[in-house]
Chain A
C-alpha cells in the first residue's frame, strides 16, 4: 500500500517536472523569436531616420552632393539587400561608413553643427546604433539561455523527443568585422 503511494507521488512529481521543463523551453524559444524580430525593428528605425537627416544637411551643406548621394545610395542598398547575413552585413557597413561621413560634415560646417535638428538626428542615430547592438546582444543571450536549458541534464533526455533543436548565435560577418571607413 505504502509502496503504491510512493510510486504515485514519484510519477506525479516527474510529470510536473516534465510540464515545467517543457513550458520553460517553449518560453525561451519564443523569446528567441521575439529577440530576432527586435533586431529588424531597430534596423528599420535606423533606415527611417536617414531621409530626415539628408534633408537637414542639404539645407546647410548643399555642395556636399557626393557625400549625400553616398548615404542615399547606401540606404537604398540596405533596403534592397537580400536576406543573407553576408549581404546584410555588407550593406550595413556601407551605411555606417556613409553616416559617419555625414556626421563629420558637422565639423566643417559650424552652422550645421549648431542646428538643433541635426544634433537631435545625430543623437537618435547614435542611440539607434546602440539599440541595434543591444537587440543583437539580447538575441544572443536568449539563445544562450535556451541552449543551456536544452542541453542540461535531465531536460536533455526528452528534449529531442519533443522536437527542440539547438539554436545558432548571431555572429558578426567577416564583412562587419572590418571597421567602416570615412571618406571625404
Chain B
C-alpha cells in the first residue's frame, strides 16, 4: 500500500512535468507560427496562472457556493462529525469544515487550498444510503484529497490547460490577421506553407490534448486518493463496498456541473457515451477512473 502511494505520486509528478513541457512546446510552436515569439507565451501563462490561482485561493468558498452547500449542524450530524474527527486523528490533519448538500444522489467532495483551510461536503443521499464503514471510507477518500494537496495539483493542471487555450487562440487569431503568412524579423521568403498548415492543425488540436492530459492527472489523483483512504482507515472493504453501492446507484447529482466535476468522489454526469464507437475518446476525458477499475485496484490491497 505504501509502495502504491509512492509510485502513484511519482507518476503524477511525471505526468504534470510532461504536461508543463507540452505546454511550453505548444507555446513555442505557436510563437513561431504566428510570429509572436515567446512574449505571447509568457503573457498567456501569466493570465492563466492569475485566474487559476485566484480560484485556488478561494476554492473552498467557490466550490461550496456553486453546489449550494450549507454548514452541517454538529448536533444533528453527530455521526458524520465523529467519523471526520476520527479520520483527522488518523491522518494528523486539522478538522475541516463540514457541509451538507441537499441532493438525493450519493456523492461527496473535498476542497480548500491547504489542510488548514479545507472543507468537505456530503449529500443527504450519501448519508441515507451508506452505512457507517462505507461512509467512513468515502470521508477518508475526501480527506486524502486534502492531505495530498490535490486541489493544488488540479489547479496547476487547469492553469496549463488555460494557458494552452489562450496561446493557441492568440496564435490562430494572429495568423488569421496576417493572412496566413509567417512574419519574423529579417524574414526573407516566408516559411513553407505546409508548416503553416501543420501548425494550424496542431494549434486547433492542442487544447483538446491539454484537456485530455488534465483528465489523466485527475484520474491518477483519484486513484491515489482511493489508496490513501485505505491507508487512513486500514480497512479497504469499507471503501470497496461504498464504491459498489455508488456503482449500483444511477441517480444523477444535480448540484454538480462540468466545472466542479473533478472534485466529486464519483463522476456526476456518469459515463454518458462511454460505450460505442467513440467510447475511447469519451473515456480519455473522464475525470475519474471507471468504478470497476477502482474497485479492482482496492481489492488487491
Interface residues of A (CB under 8 A from B): 31, 35, 38, 42, 120, 123-124, 127, 130-131, 134-135, 137-138, 141-142
Contact = CB atoms under 8 A, between A and B. Distances in A.
B92 A131 contact: no
Contacts of A120: 78
A124 B234 CA distance: 21
Interface of B: 78-79, 82-83, 85-87, 89-92, 234
A123 B87 contact: no
Contact of A123 (B79, B86, B90): B79
Contacts of A38: 89
Contacts of A138: 89-92
Given A31-B92, A138-B90, A138-B92, A131 B85 contact: yes
Contact of A137 (B78, B85, B234): B234
Contacts of B86: 127, 130-131, 134
A120 B82 CA distance: 12
A134 B79 contact: no
A123 B92 contact: no
Most buried by A among B79, B90, B234: B90
A48 B89 CA distance: 19
B82 A134 contact: no
A77 B109 CA distance: 44
Contacts of A135: 89-90
Contacts of B78: 120, 123-124
A134 B233 CA distance: 8
Contacts of B91: 138
Contacts of B90: 134-135, 137-138
A127 to B, nearest CB: 4
Given A42-B89, A127-B79, 11 more contacts: A123-B79, A124-B82, A127-B82, A127-B83, A130-B82, A130-B86, A131-B86, A134-B89, A135-B89, A137-B90, A137-B234
A66 B91 CA distance: 40
Closest 6 CB pairs of A and B: A127-B82, A134-B90, A134-B89, A130-B86, A131-B86, A134-B86
B92 A134 contact: no
Contacts of A124: 78, 82
A35 B79 CA distance: 23
A124 B86 CA distance: 11
A123 B86 CA distance: 13
Nearest to B87: A134
Contacts of B87: 134
B9 to A, nearest CB: 15
A179 to B, nearest CB: 18
Nearest to A135: B89
A123 B82 contact: yes
A38 B277 CA distance: 56
A31 B91 CA distance: 12
Most buried by A among B78, B89, B91, B234: B89
A168 B71 CA distance: 41
B143 to A, nearest CB: 12
30 contacts: A31-B92, A35-B92, A38-B89, A42-B89, A120-B78, A123-B78, A123-B82, A124-B78, A124-B82, A127-B79, A127-B82, A127-B83, A127-B86, A130-B83, A130-B86, A131-B85, A131-B86, A131-B89, A134-B87, A134-B89, A134-B90, A135-B89, A135-B90, A137-B90, A137-B234, A138-B90, A138-B91, A138-B92, A141-B92, A142-B92
